[in-house]
Amino acid sequence: MDRRNMLWSAVTAFGAVFAASRANAATEAPAGGRLKVVYHLSDLDKVNFVIGNIQNHLDGVGGPENVTIALVVHGQALKAFHSVAASPDLSRHVGQFARAGLELAACGNTMKSQNVTLKDLLPGFISADRGGVVRLAELQSQGYLYLRP
């Protein structure tokens, strides 16, 4: 085997080990704590999909006591969470999530552009006053894993 092949084999092996360690890190809770995940939702057509993903996530880990989940909503997706427009199924899920302690953050900028306040949204939402993307960055800096289904 020539040097180039030996070097390429070593680089490939190192890459495989690194990738495997990152995959493990994304599925295991940090030492002494629960896994923290933030879901990012901005597409109106993905609201039910993301809500289903969050429910599947909770079911898959055995409930909210085993994971910390936040949902940050901005853009057109926020329209689905207006109290007057929300479906009964969405209202039920949001209520369950809020009672389970999930953070439900609505982008303050989007709220202004849609001319709504927290009172106009389903109960359980807080305002991300500095913006949804700022809240996403804050949560990521606190160790939350970012998911955008």
User: What CATH superfamily is the domain 34-147?
Assistant: DsrEFH-like (3.40.1260.10)
d(CA 122, CA 85): 10
- The segments of the chain whose pLDDT lies below 50 read 11, 13-14, 16-21, 23-27
Question: In this predicted structure, what is the pLDDT of residue 83?
Answer: 96
110 close to 81: Cβ distance less than 8 angstroms:
no
d(CA 18, CA 24): 10
d(CA 55, CA 96): 10
Q: Within 10 Å of residue 136's Cβ, how many Cβ atoms?
A: 22
Question: In this predicted structure, what is the pLDDT of residue 28?
Answer: 55
Question: In this predicted structure, what is the pLDDT of residue 34?
Answer: 86
